[in-house]
Amino acid sequence: MRTVALFALLAAGLMAADSKSTTLTIRVAPEALVTMEGTETVSVKIRLSAKSQAQLWIADSCSAPPGASQTIAQSGSYTIPVATLSGTGSLVCLSDASDGILTSVPLNEGQ
């Protein structure tokens, strides 16, 4: 009986010594990909941080979005007709100042 009790104590001690906890931290950074699908449609794949919003517009320089730019309010994949975007110029611009995203694609790239 003593041998069984000793074995049980030894097994419990070994099990306690083998139990470890591990923490895994994954950081998902904001990111965006803008492409032209033909000449009439813009494809946007975007990952935004919480409470962040991106702006999409047409311009020759992507320095600042106009007030009438299209808002993308959450992460996802979007297909947007070029005709619905505000502004004039040769680039489709995407910006999110909160996340530090600024990217563009030439309007004629889809040709």
pLDDT in tens, 40-74: 999 999 999 989 999 999 999 998 899 899 999 99
Q: Are 72 and 46 in contact (CB under 8 A)?
A: yes
DSSP class of 97? T
Domains with residue ranges and CATH for the chain? 31-110 (2.60.40)
Q: Are 80 and 11 in contact (CB under 8 A)?
A: no
Q: Are 55 and 103 in contact (CB under 8 A)?
A: no
Q: pTM here?
A: 0.73
What length does the chain have? 111
Quick one: average pLDDT of 73-95? 96
Max alpha carbon distance in the chain (Å)?
89
